Amino acid sequence: MARQILMSGALMALLGVAIGAFGAHGLKTFLSEQMLAAFETGVRYHLIHALGILSAGLSLAYVPIRQFKWAGWAFSLGIVLFSGSLYVMSISGVRGLGIVTPFGGLCFIVGWGLLARGYWKAFPAENTPFSRPDGK
């Protein structure tokens, strides 16, 4: 499962850079200042959470607990809902899609919470951050 989450994170980062470049070079002249700002917000959150997916995948590869797996998928869904709705809304001008955006934000919050819970569970107080929780 770590492989799928790591691949998802890498592909999401790739898409984030490509979409950001498209917005910076291809949309600047076509979008209003407000819609360009919404698009840029989508790209920023997209890239930040692609790194979150990579963090979850690397954590899962090191300590295979379900919180890391679910954090990776929560971040992925958050990117689709949050950033995706901002991309489509800014390009199409359909503001009704803004109702989807908060659900993506909620997925981001859940993902960070799961990542924090996973680290709490993976590294009990008596262990140092560089030792395995099973003592090996």
pLDDT tens digits along 55-78: 999 999 999 999 999 999 999 999
Alpha helices in the chain (DSSP H): 2-22, 33-62, 66-78, 84-92, 101-122
User: Could you tell me the residue range of the domain that residue 114 belongs to?
Assistant: 2-19+33-122
For residue 109, tell me if it sits in a domain.
yes
Q: Which residue has the tokens 């869904």?
A: 77
Mean pLDDT over 98-127 rounds to 92
Note the pLDDT of residue 53.
Answer: 98
Reduce the DSSP state of residue 9 to 3 states and report it.
helix
pTM of the full structure:
0.90
Q: Which residue has the tokens 């607990």?
A: 65
Note the pLDDT of residue 28.
Answer: 87
The whole-chain average pLDDT of the chain stands at 93
Note the pLDDT of residue 131.
Answer: 58
Check residues 4 and 131 and name the one with the higher pLDDT.
4
Looking at the structure of the chain, the number of domains it has is 1
CB count within 10 Å of CB 52 equals: 23
For residue 75, tell me if it sits in a domain.
yes
Whether 38 and 86 have beta carbons less than 8 Å apart is answered as yes
For residue 114, tell me if it sits in a domain.
yes
Whether 79 and 104 have beta carbons less than 8 Å apart is answered as yes
